[in-house]
Structure 1
Amino acid sequence: MMSRQKFPVSVASMLLATICLGGCSTLSGDTPEPTVNVNEAVKQVDSILDGTVNAVRPQLKWRDGPARISERRNSFTNKANGEADVSRYRYVRTKVSKAKLNGLLAAITKYWNKEGFKASTSNPREPSLSGKAEDGRFAKFSMSSFGDVEFYVSVGALSSERSGDIKGEEGDQFPEAPNGGPDYTPDVQDSYWSK
């Protein structure tokens, strides 16, 4: 015979296990289910990146990194759940001085807010900004202490593909860095942004 104290605890345990086996989406509640396929997600990512850089005047020079897919996994079973995040980095080639950073951040914030992102500073030690939309789209801007400037955008997609670069979406060619990898260092001097 079950005591009165143990019954509510056992019911709560069963309910929690049922929720987590279903994907723990009820507990996290912060990522809406995607409704687009990978190709549509890549188009959305590129559209957000294009809109962001086009909102900045004078225009910046940039290179795109490869579009990537990152499979989402059930937080309880660690099995792929048929959803993924599609993302791309856009690396700014224009050298941006610290003196021009506030103007750049203002232009980005204004555009992201107009597009439904809630923009906020994400790292007070290094200039960075991130924004999340209600539909799960995510955007980020950051500038490293070395002056490297990059944008990152991620959109959810329905996909059972494994994580990795998306074929046909390799992005632009980059010069080679001393370590043999791609060199993301800004290499374009601009009469406005670089002063």
Structure 2
Amino acid sequence: MRTLRSAGILLLLWLAAGCTSPLGGASEEKKALGMDMQEAAVQADSIMLKTLNGVRPELRWNHGPSIDSRCGDAPDTGSVKRRIAVMTIVSKERRGSLLGVVERNWKGRGYQVTSVRASEELPAMYASTPDGFRMRIAVAGEGQFFFSITTPCFTESDVADPKTRPNTPHREGGYPQRPDIHDDFWSAPTPPPRT
């Protein structure tokens, strides 16, 4: 009986300290915060926009399809993935510079770079925010840059399209549309000048 009472007291102290169930993990903690998938998507859009606004000269971009998925580890929760396709032509010689700008931006806002794919043709960088949003910047076919962000699991809800306005017109056809906007800096076929 004493063992049960001690275990009960420890459990109450543990819950009072703000810990979450080891079975529920981070998903239960996020769900307890009262945020739903739509609110998480808005936060993801904000993180993405701040990342893009930190790049100078400005990149031209458009939204990719948003993906919503259920989380298997907790009932009634889901995750949202937002994507952006860069429509600015970024030359091979300027790819490293763009990755460096984004890396400094992310680290400057307290995000942790979790992995880097060091590839000459298809480099990528992955990071996460302190509250579990996971970001990626990657170079794909024809040197096109893509940004994506995936939210943690939150309370399931409907998710609207992003409200952030892209700075290029919508293009018809399947995703992704290839970059077609020349920029004097990012498209230059020479390494960037040293400052």
Normalized against structure 2, the TM-score is what?
0.70
For the residues of structure 2 that align with 1:124 and 1:142, how far apart are their CA atoms?
11
Relative to 1, partners in 2 of residues 1:148 and 1:31: Cα closer, same or farther, differing over 3 Å? Answer: farther
Question: Residues 50-95 of structure 1: CA distance to partner in whole angstroms, max 9, x if unpaired?
Answer: 1111110000000012332211003xxxxx5222211210100000
Q: How does 1:171-186 map to 2 (within 5 A)?
A: 173-176=170-173, 181-186=174-179
Counterpart in the other structure of 1:10: none
Q: Which amino acid aligns with 2:69?
A: S
Give the unaligned 5+ runs of structure 2. Answer: 1-20, 189-195
Distance 1:62 1:100 in 2: 17
Task: Indicate the residue corresponding to 1:81 in structure 2.
Answer: 75
Shift of 1:143: 0.4
* Deviates most, 29-38 or 100-109: 29-38
Cross-structure match for 1:155 = 151
CA deviation after TM superposition for structure 1 residue 117, in Å: 1.4
Shift of 1:124: 2.2
Deviations 1:10-59 (A, max 9, x none): xxxxxxxxxxxxxxx84896778323112211211111111111110000
Q: Is the 8 A contact 1:174 1:183 kept in 2?
A: no
**Structure holding more strand per residue:** 1
Q: Is the 8 A contact 2:116 2:124 kept in 1?
A: yes
Aligned to 1:16: none
**Alignment of structure 1 residues 14-93 onto 2, 5 Å:** 26=22, 33-34=29-30, 35=33, 36-74=35-73, 81-93=75-87
Answer yes or no: is the 8 Å Cα contact 1:66–1:169 preserved in 2. Answer: no
Q: Which residue of 1 aligns with 2:12?
A: none
Distance 1:191 1:44, change over 3 A: same
In the TM superposition, structure 1's runs of 4+ consecutive aligned residues that sit over 3 Å from their partners are 25-33, 166-174
Q: Which runs of 5+ in 1 are unaligned?
A: 1-24, 75-79
Q: For this pair of structures, how many residues does the alignment match?
A: 159
Alpha-carbon deviations, 1:75-129, whole Å to 9, x = none?
A: xxxxx52222112101000000111112111110111112221114432232101
Given the two structures, how large is their TM-score scaled by the length of structure 1?
0.70
**CA distance in 2 between partners of 1:45 and 1:108 (Å):** 16
